């Protein structure tokens, strides 16, 4: 714990060195922790900015408002529809780059409007090991990653969040709804609606960590391994099948491998990072 507290002191020092800060804020574990430490350090020189769109679950929008209010930080909600960004809806491999580029463009404009000197996000050390094309967008706009700067992992952020009394400390990760669509599958408002409603059905039935992966007429459910046996119990299985058909899916499948964060990146990371023949790294 002493090492963790030292990292927290280093994070506070990072923020103390900034004149003012805009936090790209989703209300999740990482950005809530960033906002809390930044606000404790700089007070009203911190502004949280959340972009809302059809790709953001309604539950996450409410959580962002609630967490900013709990912390006492200034908070701005900006409407932004990624589906209108050229190329985004076709769901290319660099979809996250297009999304983050749009987000940080909004952050840049608002930071300039309010005279804010720094923009930060909640990227953590563990994120560097996943496929994160959004990092390129951050680098292009000089967005800083304070959690990476002080080498904080997800587990450490959760532990420090608990120490600080943040209710998000044990919250499951909640990436945008577009992450449920395999690359190359068009992202539509109707598809996003089906995914969001399907995940809400599962949470209402008591499943905590859920992903509804969108495969056209098929909803592929990713659940925690311990929950897979439960989901195939006759009564529950029939309820899920009935509710998903009401939503608009024709078939419901359960992924026997269970929930994997970023499962649709499987097989992508190596392809993206492998240099072309004759390329020099």
- Return the closest-CA partner of residue 222 out of 256, 265, 181, 182: 256
Residue 37 to residue 152: CA distance in whole angstroms: 13
Question: Strand pairing of 21-24 and 46-52?
Answer: parallel
> Starting from the edge strand earliest in sequence, which strands make up the sheet with 46-52, in order?
74-79, 46-52, 21-24, 118-120
Going by DSSP bridges, is the β-strand pair 210-215/118-120 parallel, antiparallel, or unpaired? unpaired
Instruction: In whole angstroms, give the CA distance from residue 104 to residue 96.
Output: 12
Which residue ranges does the chain devote to CATH 3.40.50.620? 2-170
Prediction pTM value: 0.88
The tens place of each residue's pLDDT in the chain, 281 residues long, gives: 889 999 999 999 999 999 999 999 999 999 999 999 999 999 999 999 999 999 999 999 999 999 999 999 999 999 999 999 999 999 999 999 999 999 999 999 999 999 999 999 999 999 998 888 889 999 999 999 999 999 999 999 999 999 999 999 999 988 999 999 999 999 999 999 999 999 999 999 999 999 999 999 999 999 999 999 999 899 999 999 999 999 999 999 999 999 876 556 655 554 444 333 333 32
- Superfamily of segment(s) 2-170: HUPs (3.40.50.620)
Cβ neighbours of residue 234 closer than 8 Å, sequence gap 6 or more: none
**Contact between 110 and 78 (Cβ < 8 Å):** yes
Q: Among residues 258, 250, 251, which one has the least CA distance to residue 225?
A: 258
Q: What does the alpha-carbon distance between residue 20 and residue 119 come to, in Å, rounded to a whole number?
A: 9
Q: Give start-end residues of each CATH 3.30.70 domain in the chain.
A: 188-265
126, 261 contact by CB (below 8 A): no
User: Coil, strand, or helix at residue 36?
Assistant: helix
CATH number of 188-265: 3.30.70
């Amino acid at each position: 714990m002493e090492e963790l507290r030292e990292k927290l002191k280093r994070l506070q020092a990072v923020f103390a060195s900034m004149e003012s800060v805009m936090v790209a804020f989703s209300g999740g574990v990482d950005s809530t922790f960033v906002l809390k430490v930044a606000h404790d350090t700089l007070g009203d020189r911190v502004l949280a900015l959340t972009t809302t769109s059809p790709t953001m679950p309604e539950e996450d929008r409410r959580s962002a408002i609630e967490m900013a209010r709990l912390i006492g930080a200034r908070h701005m909600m900006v409407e932004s529809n990624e589906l209108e960004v050229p190329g985004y809806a076709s769901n290319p491999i660099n979809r996250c780059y297009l999304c983050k580029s749009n987000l940080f463009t909004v952050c840049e404009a608002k930071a300039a409007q309010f005279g804010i000197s720094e923009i930060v996000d909640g990227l953590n050390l563990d994120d560097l090991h996943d496929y994160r094309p959004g990092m390129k967008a951050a680098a292009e706009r000089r967005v800083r990653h304070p959690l990476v700067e002080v080498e904080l992992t997800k587990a450490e952020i959760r532990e420090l969040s608990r120490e600080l009394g943040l209710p998000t400390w044990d919250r499951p990760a909640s990436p945008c709804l577009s992450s449920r669509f395999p690359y190359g599958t068009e992202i539509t408002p109707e598809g996003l609606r089906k995914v969001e409603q399907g995940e809400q059905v599962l949470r209402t039935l008591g499943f905590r960590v859920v992903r509804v992966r969108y495969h056209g007429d098929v909803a592929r459910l990713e659940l925690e391994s311990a929950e897979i046996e439960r989901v195939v119990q006759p009564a529950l299985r029939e309820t899920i099948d009935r509710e998903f058909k009401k939503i608009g899916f024709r078939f419901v499948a359960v992924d026997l491998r269970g929930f994997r964060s970023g499962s649709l990146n499987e097989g992508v990371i190596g392809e993206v990072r492998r240099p072309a023949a004759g390329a020099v790294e």
